[in-house]
Amino acid sequence: MALCAALAFSSCKSSESAYKKAYEKAKQMELAEAQNAAAEQPVEAPAVEAAPVVETTPQPVVVAAPVREEKVELVSGDGLKAYSVVCGSFIGKPNADGLKTWLEGEGYSAKVVYNAERNMYRVIVESFNTHAEAARARDAFKAKYPGREDFQGAWLLYRL
């Protein structure tokens, strides 16, 4: 009797696979019909008028550069203006003077200023009257020395 029961169960195929096959076939037919319908419909391109060609000069993008405001006094160098590009900060004046000398050798009119509140000497690459000029100079300075990590941290100082 056990043998008959085993044969009876093994000979029956599951009806689940037949339903699954029928579902997949119907789904494929449905997708094929949708593709055919889309291919048969003509696609009209919207009418486009030709715009007149206007030549423009590309304008440089000026990113609003953050500015630190500090009360500083000029220690060495000439003519400190409102906005300055700072490329180094030191506790000791000899280190600041050394960087100033190196920058002057590179063609910059470098300056050293002192911030008494923070007891720091700041080395200034260049000084300007406007924020925009200083931001452009800072970006140009950083681009000139891409391999110097210390110069990549150059920032703008507004003298109080």
Distance CA 113, CA 115 (A): 7
DSSP H or E segment with residue 39? helix 15-40
Mean predicted confidence (pLDDT) in 74-78: 89
Distance CA 137, CA 110 (A): 13
Q: How many helices (H) and strands (E) does the chain have?
A: 5, 6
> Is residue 14 over pLDDT 60?
no
- What's the pLDDT at 48? 62
Distance CA 126, CA 144 (A): 14
pLDDT, tens digit (0-9, with 9 covering 90-100), for 99-153? 999 999 999 999 999 999 999 999 999 999 999 999 999 999 999 999 999 999 9
pLDDT, tens digit (0-9, with 9 covering 90-100), for 35-74? 776 666 665 656 666 667 666 666 555 556 689 999 999 9
- What's the pLDDT at 123? 96
Could you tell me the two tokens for 158? 């507004």
Structural domains in the chain plus CATH codes:
67-159 (3.30.70.1070)
DSSP H or E segment with residue 91? none
Relative to beta strand 111-115, strand 120-128 is antiparallel
Of 24, 136, 50, nearest to 154 (Cα)? 136
Q: What is the DSSP letter of 1?
A: -
Residue 33 gets the label, from left (phi > 0), alpha (psi -120 to 50) or beta, of: alpha
Phi, psi of 68 (to 5 degrees): -95, 135
